[in-house]
Amino acid sequence: MQLASSSLYSEGTQDGWEANLALRFARRGSRTSLVERRHRGPLKVQRPFYPEGDVCHLYLLHPPGGLVGGDRLHIKVEVEEGAAAMLTTPGAAKFYRSLGPSAEQHQVLRISDRASLEWLPQENILFPGANALLSTQIDLSATARFIGWEISCLGLPANRQRFESGRADLQLRIDRDGEPLLWDRLRVQGADDLDGSSSLRGMPVVGTLIATGADEETLQLARSAATPDDRTLLGITRIDDLLVARALGQTTDQVRAKLTAIWASIRPALLGRPATPPRIWAT
């Protein structure tokens, strides 16, 4: 495997540190290789591994200390033509209380024709008082395949700490060949926003799963695989070939369980592979 790698630890500024991670996957022979890995600052990846043969699996390691005000994290992932990659994280991304400046995580995922990316990170935890901007931009070529989710937990429900102070700006945008397919931006600032009748309804965990290449059958598979229950709201829709599943719940586990079940139900149809949950989820 060819691996272009460079490491340059950025100096922390008085306003926080800046970390960059750029990954590029390309088809090399019968499997997908991580052909480029550049990082700066406390954001790293583990060695790629191949539990399914051709698909490149990779763990992305967030800075162990989480993000505080002033920190900036930039993640860029490119999947070249015909390549297939799955990215997960072994731990949650944490946004701690800020004294003012925002902590930002910007993710750009670019997928070329006949390539696929699965983006299945653990949740983002926004501590009470955090000022967090999390943006995920997905750029698709015409025949690119994507299945991914973002799960965010506002506050610390296990400790009964609501996100009553602080700000959250959670953005999700998907474009195909430069045309916007979905633009979703959840803003929370203050207790009123936590209880909005048509927005969060007092539920601290919000999750969105997106999949491309879906048809009516895919929608039915997803709807049979996961249904709302007393504790978790769940709605699945299909906008042209874009499957969008949204969940609201009291705990991250409940929301992730719903989205995992949907992922498992549609993966064989959309990517032609059986769904074996990444081992790291079991630990």
Partner 1 sequence: MTAVIRVMATISMATDLALLRLLHLASPSLPTGAFTYSQSLEWAVEHGWLTSVAELENWLGDQVQTTLTGVDLPLLARLHDASIRQDDAALGSWSALLLASRETHELRCEETNRGRALADLLVSLAVAGAAERKPLLARTQVTGFAYAAAQWGIDQRQALLGYGWSWMENLVLAAVKSIPLGQTQGQQALSRLLARIPKAVETALALDDDTIGASSPALAIASSLHETQYTRLFRS
Instruction: Considering only residues 246 through 275, tell me which ones interact with partner 1, judged by CB under 8 A.
Output: 246-248
**Residue of the chain from 237, 272, 276, 277 that contacts partner 1 (CB under 8 A):** 237
The pair of three-digit structure tokens given for residue 17, joined into one six-digit string: 């540190």
CA 67 – CA 76 distance, rounded (Å): 18
Binding range to partner 1, per CB under 8 A, among 9-17, 61-69, 120-128, 165-173:
165-173
Query: 195 CB contacts (<8 Å, ≥6 apart)?
Result: 201, 202
Shortest reach from residue 177's CB to partner 1, in Å: 12
Query: 244 CB contacts (<8 Å, ≥6 apart)?
Result: 182, 208, 209, 210, 236, 237, 238
Residue 234 binds to partner 1 (criterion: CB under 8 A)? yes
Q: Residue 224 carries which DSSP code?
A: H
Residue 180 binds to partner 1 (criterion: CB under 8 A)? yes
Are the beta carbons of 147 and 271 closer than 8 angstroms? yes
Q: For partner 1, what does the binding mask look like between residues 111 and 150, x meaning CB under 8 A?
A: ----------------------------------------
Q: Contacts with partner 1: how many residues (CB under 8 A)? A: 33
**Residue of the chain from 183, 191, 229, 272 that contacts partner 1 (CB under 8 A):** 183
Residue 196 binds to partner 1 (criterion: CB under 8 A)? yes
The pair of three-digit structure tokens given for residue 133, joined into one six-digit string: 């901007």
Residue 93 binds to partner 1 (criterion: CB under 8 A)? no
Query: 158 CB contacts (<8 Å, ≥6 apart)?
Result: 251
Residue 157 binds to partner 1 (criterion: CB under 8 A)? no
Binding range to partner 1, per CB under 8 A, among 73-81, 91-99, 156-164, 195-203:
195-203
Give the start-end residues of each E strand in 83-178.
Answer: 84-88, 93-95, 103-111, 116-120, 124-126, 131-140, 145-154, 167-176
Shortest reach from residue 235's CB to partner 1, in Å: 3
**Kind and range of the H or E element at 194?**
helix 191-194
Interface with partner 1 (CB under 8 A): 170-171, 173-174, 179-187, 196-201, 206, 223, 228, 233-239, 244, 246-248
